[in-house]
Chains A and B, each alone.
Chain A
Amino acid sequence: MFKRLWGIFSNDLSIDLGTANTLIYVRGQGIVLNEPSVVAIRQDRGPGGPRAIAAVGIEAKRMLGRTPGNITAIRPLKEGVIADFTVTEKMLQYFIRKVHENKVFRPSPRVLVCVPCGSTQVERRAIRESAGGAGAREVYLIEEPMAAAIGAGLPVDEARGSMVLDIGGGTSEVAVISLNGIVYSASVRIGGDKFDEAITNYVRRNYGTLIGEATAERVKHEIGAAFPGNEVREIEVKGRNLAEGVPRSFTLNSNEILEALQEPLSGIVGAVKTALEQTPPELGSDVAERGIVLTGGGALLRDLDRLLMEETGLPVVVAEDPLTCVARGGGRALELITEHGSDFFLVD
């Protein structure tokens, strides 16, 4: 009774709780929130003092690596799963409030959260409890590749195999889907963060210079590539020279970044190849005919489709608006739940 009453004041939300970014899709409104999953925590008066949230989202991300002693900017999710339960709950609470228009009533929406397909029961339960603690009236969980495939507009309900590769911040998931179900899925803990890390390591090794997470990400966005292209692009970055101990500026080019990214990229390619190996032959031929669909922020890495195409010999296409595929797919799944009561793609 109360649940239904509360429902009047709340919208249904689909949340892509990602390692790097959290996206919220509201039925009928589209993507209403796209913010980094970063929380800055202020702890005054020493180590035992009261802790409070100083900033969440974009604001907090600007603080990453730039905080004084009493503020720590952390990412509460690591590799697709919750690393800090309390902070995740607070972050979700903040985001849910932010997208909730009605300021009078406490939001208590039905929430669908996407979880990596490799996540354990414990990790799923943590996400469920965390969303519940953040004010959700009901929590549904859906596996990320399923949501990504729905969001990318793949014909998941047909008796035809579709392969989707979702490269997120913390994990990459590859799955073969047919008849509304996942035939094969695998998750590797490689994603955008690993790319950044690889760039940082490369720069330290080859230039003897330390750069921060944010700088590495900027380098990746601007000149990162997965396949050698025709043009070589350059970027000037500043970092702390380890030998001299002072900030120095230097120039990186796209070939160097390509080299730096080899290791994480080969991990992803390996996962795709394994998936193709494990896929039943009938579905494999469907995949070979239409190709692999890339979603997630990682799909925006330049020429990643090209790399996969060359490595697998299959057509590879990047979905439209790959960053929001999962959240949109989750929203569509919520609609299906509401309209038809079909919850076959949900997980416990």
Chain B
Amino acid sequence: MVERPDSNRENADPVAPPPGPGERLRRAREGAGLDLDRLAAELHLPARILEALERDDFGSLPPTYTQGYLRSYAKRLGLAVDPVLAEYHRRAGPVEPPPMTAPAPSPAQVGLGRTRHGLYVLFVVLAAAVFLAWWFRGGSGPRPAASRSSPPPAPAVTSPQTAPPIPPAPTPVPAARPPLPRPAVSGAPKASSSIASSAAPAEQPAPVPRAGATAPSSAPSPAPAPPPPADVLVLRCDADSWVEVRDARGRRLVYDLLHAGDVRRVVGTPPFRVLLGNPAAVRVEWDGRRVPVPRGAPGKVVRFSVGTPRAAAAPAPAGGPGPR
């Protein structure tokens, strides 16, 4: 079994798959002077299976059996089992063994009392909420800034101011998409009205200088590499109104509560998508011309787009001016 004697008749394998264990087994058996039939009886296997193994003909047997037969055969002949199986694997292809991976050690102490289910449930619910928030934010496009200062309370403030203004010609707004701030707008108007009227002037001491300066500084700075002829959208407020403006690429340029007298200049790529919490109170100018603002019912939010896409600048789908 160790020496390789003269070339046998079965060495003439032209396709040359790797040699199987059959040759080794046959030589070991012949070296020991054992008869195939006797061995077959000892191993309780049909002689034709042993013959097939010696011919490296593994047939249609599942590998589990083939390996087992080879193992018992090799053991009976006094051969080392591992080389035989290795030759079989080379011949028949790998029978991928499961990888043994060692896990990292973890804290050992586990109390034996009851687990605090409530705490875990709370934690999981919180985690789910955070995940959902992240999911929705992340899904709506790349965000320029990490987070604005407390956006949710702002829309609630607009609602008291929505009531007084002139009743406009009611052109109903088709509420196609339920927006994020909508529930807040119609949600808690009365409770916050007194707070809003008193808190707004106190906390926002600089609406006037800002209006005069028309500084774009509070608006997000223009994108680092936008097309050069950026368009300016001017928003003038006669009364407090929640305003959101997104440009063609979905960047949020304005997301703020504008106060009476505020003028906000927005630089970006048209078309802009504008959302006004109090449409009657906001005048929108684009390219120096006044853009008609669709009138909604009092207290209703309107959405519309302004501007036509530039040929090169805006690959986003164009939204014509008018309510959407």
Contact with A along B31-56 (1 / 0, CB 8 A): 00000000000011110000000000
B192 at the interface (CB under 8 A from A): no
In this complex, the member of B61, B103, B127 whose beta carbon has the largest number of chain A beta carbons within 10 angstroms is B103
A35 CA / B43 CA spacing, docked (Å): 35
Q: Is the CB of B72 within 8 A of A315?
A: yes
Residues of B within 8 A of A29 (CB): 99, 101
25 CB contacts below 8 A, A to B, read A5-B128, A25-B98, A29-B101, A31-B101, A32-B101, A32-B102, A50-B113, A52-B112, A53-B108, A53-B110, A53-B111, A86-B112, A90-B110, A105-B127, A106-B124, A153-B63, A309-B44, A313-B44, A314-B44, A316-B68, A316-B72, A320-B64, A320-B95, A320-B97, A324-B98
A34 CA / B68 CA spacing, docked (Å): 24
* Segment with Cβ contacts to B, from A63-71, A94-102, A183-191: A94-102
A321 at the interface (CB under 8 A from B): yes
Q: Is the CB of B110 within 8 A of A5?
A: no
Residues of A within 8 A of B72 (CB): 305, 309, 315-317
Residue on B nearest A9 in the bound complex, by CB: B127
Shortest distance in angstroms between A38's beta carbon and chain B's nearest beta carbon? Answer: 13
Shortest distance in angstroms between A202's beta carbon and chain B's nearest beta carbon? Answer: 27
A101 CA / B106 CA spacing, docked (Å): 10
Task: Evaluate whether A30 and B124 lie within 8 angstroms (CB atoms) in the complex, with A153-B62, A315-B43 already known.
Answer: no
Q: Is the CB of A293 within 8 A of B44?
A: no
Residues of B within 8 A of A94 (CB): 108, 110
In this complex, the member of B67, B108, B111 whose beta carbon has the largest number of chain A beta carbons within 10 angstroms is B108
Q: Is the CB of B106 within 8 A of A98?
A: yes
Q: Is the CB of A2 within 8 A of B128?
A: yes
Contact with B along A311-333 (1 / 0, CB 8 A): 00111111111001000100000
A321 CA / B44 CA spacing, docked (Å): 23
Chain A 290-315 interface residues, beta-carbon cutoff 8 Å to B: 290-291, 293, 305, 309, 313-315
Residue on B nearest A26 in the bound complex, by CB: B101
- Residue among B46, B68, B100, B113 making CB contact with A317, cutoff 8 Å: B68
Q: Is the CB of B108 within 8 A of A97?
A: no
B120 at the interface (CB under 8 A from A): yes
A233 at the interface (CB under 8 A from B): no
Q: Is the CB of B64 within 8 A of A152?
A: yes
A83 at the interface (CB under 8 A from B): no
Residues of A whose CB lies within 8 Å of any CB of B are: 2, 5-6, 25, 29-34, 41, 50-53, 55-56, 59, 86-87, 90, 93-94, 97-99, 101, 103-106, 133, 152-155, 289-291, 293, 305, 309, 313-321, 324, 328
Task: Evaluate whether A32 and B103 lie within 8 angstroms (CB atoms) in the complex, with A53-B110, A90-B110, A320-B97 already known.
Answer: yes
A41 CA / B46 CA spacing, docked (Å): 54
Residues of B within 8 A of A318 (CB): 68, 71
A99 CA / B105 CA spacing, docked (Å): 9
Residues of A within 8 A of B106 (CB): 97-98, 103
Q: Is the CB of A5 within 8 A of B97?
A: no
A321 CA / B104 CA spacing, docked (Å): 23
Other A-B pairs, 20, CB within 8 Å; known A32-B101, A97-B106, A315-B43: A6-B124, A31-B99, A53-B109, A53-B110, A56-B110, A87-B112, A93-B115, A94-B108, A105-B127, A106-B124, A290-B61, A309-B43, A315-B45, A315-B69, A316-B44, A316-B68, A317-B71, A320-B67, A324-B98, A328-B98
What is the predominant secondary structure among interface residues of chain B facing chain A? loop
A79 CA / B72 CA spacing, docked (Å): 30
Q: Is the CB of A41 within 8 A of B64?
A: no
Q: Closest 9 A-B residue pairs measured CB to CB?
A: A317-B68, A30-B98, A30-B99, A153-B64, A51-B112, A53-B110, A315-B44, A98-B106, A315-B45
Q: Is the CB of B110 within 8 A of A30?
A: no
Chain B 121-138 interface residues, beta-carbon cutoff 8 Å to A: 123-124, 127-128, 131
Q: Is the CB of A317 within 8 A of B64?
A: yes
Residues of B within 8 A of A313 (CB): 44
Task: Evaluate whether A105 and B124 lie within 8 angstroms (CB atoms) in the complex, with A33-B103, A53-B108, A98-B106 already known.
Answer: yes
Residue on B nearest A295 in the bound complex, by CB: B64
Residues of A within 8 A of B104 (CB): 101
Residue on B nearest A308 in the bound complex, by CB: B44
Shortest distance in angstroms between A204's beta carbon and chain B's nearest beta carbon? Answer: 34
Q: Is the CB of B110 within 8 A of A31?
A: no
Shortest distance in angstroms between B240's beta carbon and chain A's nearest beta carbon? Answer: 39
A98 CA / B124 CA spacing, docked (Å): 19
Task: Evaluate whether A154 and B69 lie within 8 angstroms (CB atoms) in the complex, with A30-B98, A98-B106 already known.
Answer: no
Q: Is the CB of B67 within 8 A of A317?
A: yes
A94 CA / B104 CA spacing, docked (Å): 13
Q: Is the CB of B65 within 8 A of A317?
A: yes
A34 CA / B44 CA spacing, docked (Å): 35
Q: Is the CB of B128 within 8 A of A55?
A: no
Residue on B nearest A97 in the bound complex, by CB: B106
Residues of A within 8 A of B100 (CB): 30-31, 34
Residue on B nearest A103 in the bound complex, by CB: B106
- Residue among B45, B67, B71, B98 making CB contact with A31, cutoff 8 Å: B98
Q: Is the CB of B71 within 8 A of A41?
A: no
Residue on A nearest B107 in the bound complex, by CB: A97
Residue on B nearest A153 in the bound complex, by CB: B64
- Residue among B62, B68, B112, B124 making CB contact with A90, cutoff 8 Å: B112
A326 CA / B86 CA spacing, docked (Å): 24
Residue on A nearest B44 in the bound complex, by CB: A315
Residue on B nearest A155 in the bound complex, by CB: B62
Contact with A along B66-101 (1 / 0, CB 8 A): 011101100000000000000000000001011111
